[in-house]
Amino acid sequence: MIKYLSKGPDDTKEIGYRLGRLLQPGDVVGLYGELGTGKTIMVKGVARAFGIDEREIVSASFTIISGYDTIPPFIHIDLYRIEEPEEPELDALGLWEYIGGDCIAVIEWAEKAERWLPEDSIKVTFNPIGELIREITIEGIDEKDWNNL
């Protein structure tokens, strides 16, 4: 498990960028944490690793799935608006078309789909410690690969 103390949004973006550089097609990243803990901020950093402008990554008030035409395709999923997720509801979203395969999928509010995510998903947890401080843990990434970046 990799553990960080982020001291502000830029730190969190940088951690996201580093994670992004390690991702391979088919990887699924679940982001876990309460409202306003920095999940979308991290997605901006991950997306930069695929050449996506961070301004293109926004909180999904209406869109649950945003896809980017990168190689590999990058998919930002935000399950916040899904209330009581059931498998058919997630099926109807077309979620499974993006999970695995050749895409990179990053999922905010992954707790809502936890039961159905692949077992080898990468898990990132945000724990707010203070106004600017977040404890961020990353599970499912080889620490050696991370340190070699």
Ligand X SMILES: Nc1ncnc2c1ncn2[C@@H]1O[C@H](COP(=O)(O)OP(=O)(O)OP(=O)(O)O)[C@@H](O)[C@H]1O
In angstroms, give the least distance from the CB of 144 to ligand X. 26
CA angle 138, 87, 67 (to 5 degrees): 60
Q: Which residues bind ligand X (CB under 6 A)?
A: 6, 8-9, 11-12, 33, 35-41, 59, 80, 108, 132, 134
Verify binding: residue 59, Mg ion, rule CB under 5 A: yes
In what side-by-side order are the strands of the sheet with 104-108? 2-6, 134-139, 122-128, 28-32, 104-108, 74-78, 65-68
In angstroms, give the least distance from the CB of 74 to ligand X. 17
Closest to ligand X by CB, 110 vs 117, is 110
In angstroms, give the least distance from the CB of 18 to ligand X. 14
Chain centre to alpha carbon of residue 75: 9
> What span, in angstroms and rounded, lies between the C-alpha atoms of 141 and 14?
16
Binding site for Mg ion (CB under 5 A): 39-40, 59, 108
